[in-house]
Amino acid sequence: MVLAKVEGSVVATKKDPNMSGRKLLLLRPQLVDDKDPTRFRAGTNTIVAVDSVGAGVGEMVLFCQGSSARLAPNLKEAPVDAVIIGIVDTVDVFGKEIFSSKVR
């Protein structure tokens, strides 16, 4: 599993029939900064993932890739390499909360 921030959406009107009706989101992986583990740094790549949990732009999510992605409900027949499997509430590193979805 990988942490990522939802940066946008992807629309494809022509696609494999098994992908019909599936929401696609653009993700940027988030890495704990090795110089300052109290914050994240954005990864350099972006990922297109199927949304299985109702995530939205700006949210922090968990996603998985590869054969694990096809284990998500109703994706066994879909040509999927990445799927969002959770919306993150908090992230703690070394006992310190570095992310919270709650507005403070």
* 95/37 Cα distance (integer angstroms): 11
Domain CATH code at residue 87 = 2.40.50.220
Do strands 47-51 and 24-32 pair parallel, antiparallel, or not at all (unpaired)? Answer: antiparallel
What is the reported pTM? 0.91
Distance set, CA 57 to CA 30, 47, 67 (Å) = 15, 14, 25
pLDDT of residue 65: 93
What's the pLDDT tens digit per position in 44-64?
999 999 999 999 999 999 999
Query: Which pair of tokens denotes residue 77?
Result: 């027949």
Dist. CA 90–CA 4, nearest whole Å: 13
How many structural domains does the chain have?
Answer: 1
The boundaries of the domain holding residue 54 are 2-100
pLDDT tens-place string over residues 28-39: 999 999 999 999
